[in-house]
Amino acid sequence: MAAVKLDASARDSQLQPLLAPEGGWHLVEGRDAIQKTFMFQDFNEAFGFMTRVAIKADKMDHHPEWFNVYNKVDITLSTHDCQGLSGRDITLATFIDALTK
């Protein structure tokens, strides 16, 4: 099923909690996308985290845009199909956050 952009109600109920200070995500300027930076002890821990996200992402067929250097991982989520944020981004962001709690 094609992804559809989050509607106003879903933005309030599902996106806002991620964007709140305790959620730690922020909107990317000029795009309907969210971004968050994750810090780890070292590269082993960072890449272990990336591997867990990668397996989930490929299973969902919904892939992050991400940058890593040593213990830092920057993740941007958006949905190519609908050129913006969809429920898939909420699902993946929630999964990612759960890994780091």
Closest distance of CB 26 from a second copy, Å: 19
Q: Give the interface segment with a second copy, choosing from 23-31, 40-48, 84-92, 93-101 (CB under 8 A).
A: 40-48
Single-letter code of the amino acid located at 80: H
- Residue 94 as a binder of a second copy (CB under 8 A): the answer is no
CB neighbour burial string for 12-27, b if at least 16 within 10 angstroms, e if fewer: eebbeebeeeebbbee
Q: Which residues bind a second copy (CB under 8 A)?
A: 43-44, 47, 50-51, 54, 57-58, 63-70
